[in-house]
Amino acid sequence: MLNAIGIFMIFLFLGMPVAFAIGISGFIFFLMRPEIPWTILVQKSLSTTQSFTMLAIPLFIFAGNLMNNTGITSRLVKLANVLTGHMYGSIGQVSVVLSTLMGGVSGSAVADAAMECRILGPEMTKRGYAPGWAAAINCLSGLIVATIPPSMGLILYGTVGEVSIGRLFVAGFLPGIIMCIFMMIATSWSARHYGYQPDHDKPSPPGVIIKSCFESIWALMFPILLIVLIRFGVMTPSESGAFAVFYALFVGIFIYKELNLEKFKKCIVDSVKDLSVITMILAFSGIFSYGVVFDQLPKTLTTLLVGLTSNKYVLLLLILIMLIVFGMFMETTVITLIVTPILIPIITQYGIDPVHFGIIMMTIVTMGCSTPPVGVALYTCSNIMDCSVQETTKYSLPLFIAIMATLAICVFFPDLVLFLPNMIYGTSM
């Protein structure tokens, strides 16, 4: 399997699309193992995409596209602007707050970053912000979506690792809010450093804030409503995707009345494009994952890590460094599908709660979307803002520090992450 992994890394360095790189590598593994029936190759590629839990992914993607075309997103932008217009780097602050509010709408860090660049980017440059600064803020703030439910990454992690998705959803709230606060501080410092002034001299009046909250109430209610319905058994996490689609259609047609046939067709086309890539990666990763398990790579890695240290914090640090490196070269979905079944037995052996680890892991691997050389969000935002990747990276440093501070708090204060899920669901370990 190590040969297949090596081939996979070579393909990535050569610029081959991730789906084909992982598919060909998995195929080569089967060629090197003639004792394995070829029927398993077909079975694994199909079974990975046929999971009932995986139904939530296409449904949430469709729901996110619907919400972007129904007036929900535009109202959230207005609310974020009302809340942050008096701060340094005000429109940058809008991006951070919007990402926090959009957690329950998009579920995808890359989609969130791209959407915010398209919505806020032109206005940022118009007001005198550097294109690289705008790209950095919109790119890195999208990382908040990794923890705020319903995060696509958390659904994948929970499915592959057999961890409660409901607990993961609830656990993501506090880390997401902490990251939002730290990023707002970083954005404010960066704006002061580069001489960007607030849009307003003083905070918006309470009446204006309340009015904007009421206008955005349907978007703000969604993640809360989702958690409540899952907690009380009204629906499963998989079924919540269907609820999200229904919710978006209801709001778009009957409440805001902005969803017409043309916008609906656009939502379908955009969703199919997104899903075609994701489904291909999922199918081929099933082949790759089978090879990992067949060669007992999890057991080997467990033995290696156990031999290195008996301290769970040192172990966690080693794993996080490994995930950071993986995130630089591999797509988030691929890392989650391949690495999760390997790491879950290791962290449970050390007494680390899988829910606590899941929040940290998904934050780390999602950060890979914003780091070279395989930073999809980084390249997307730089392209939209018409600036170099180097320029975007230069302005990203304060935000990376904010992310690392959030991760440090989550690592050393696990009770902070587990407080809400333990309160709602009871203790799990």
Enter the tokens of residue 238.
């998989």
Given pLDDT bands bounded at 50, 70 and 90, which one contains residue 162?
A: confident
Residue 22 maps to a domain:
no
pLDDT at 342: 80
pLDDT of 429 strictly over 60: no
Residue 18 maps to a domain:
no
Q: What is the mean pLDDT of residues 228-254?
A: 76
Comparison of pLDDT for 166 and 9, the residue scoring more:
166
- What tens digit of pLDDT does each residue of 102-136 get? 665 555 666 667 767 777 777 778 778 888 898 88
pLDDT at 7: 76
Given pLDDT bands bounded at 50, 70 and 90, which one contains residue 66?
A: confident
Question: How many Cβ atoms from other residues are within 10 Å of residue 397's Cβ?
Answer: 12
Given pLDDT bands bounded at 50, 70 and 90, which one contains residue 269?
A: confident
pLDDT of 345 strictly over 80: yes
pLDDT at 231: 63
pLDDT at 107: 52
- What tens digit of pLDDT does each residue of 147-158 get? 877 677 788 888
The overall average pLDDT reported for the chain is: 78
Residue 45 maps to a domain:
no
Long-range residue pairs from 227-231, CB within 8 A, at least 24 positions apart, any chain? 227/149, 227/166, 227/169, 227/170, 230/165, 230/166, 230/169, 231/166, 231/170, 231/424, 231/425
pLDDT of 178 strictly over 90: yes
Report the percent of the chain where pLDDT is more than 70.
Answer: 79
- Between CA 65 and CA 245 the distance in angstroms is 10
Q: What is the DSSP letter of 197?
A: P
Residue 39 maps to a domain:
no
Residue 28 maps to a domain:
no
Q: Which of 336, 371, 353, 365 is nearest to 411 (CA)?
A: 353
Residue 13 maps to a domain:
no
pLDDT at 357: 92
Q: What is the mean pLDDT of residues 177-204?
A: 85
Between CA 95 and CA 241, with CA 114 as vertex, the angle to 5 degrees is: 95
> Could you tell me the pTM of the whole model?
0.71
Length of the chain: 429
Residue 3 maps to a domain:
no
Domain count of the chain? Answer: 1
What is the sign, positive or negative, of the torsion defined by CA atoms of 243, 61, 319, 30? positive
Question: In which element (H, E) is residue 36 found?
Answer: none
pLDDT at 354: 92
Q: How far is CA 176 from CA 146, 150, 293, 353, in A?
A: 8, 12, 33, 18
- Between CA 292 and CA 346 the distance in angstroms is 15
pLDDT at 359: 92
pLDDT at 306: 65
Q: What is the mean pLDDT of residues 173-197?
A: 89
Enter the tokens of residue 330.
């591999």
Residue 147 and residue 366 in contact, taking contact as beta carbons nearer than 8 Å: no
- What tens digit of pLDDT does each residue of 358-385 get? 999 988 888 877 776 556 677 777 877 8
- What tens digit of pLDDT does each residue of 271-329 get? 787 677 667 766 776 776 677 667 666 567 666 766 777 788 888 888 888 888 777 76
pLDDT at 127: 77
Which residue range forms the structural domain that includes residue 234? 53-425
Residue 9 maps to a domain:
no
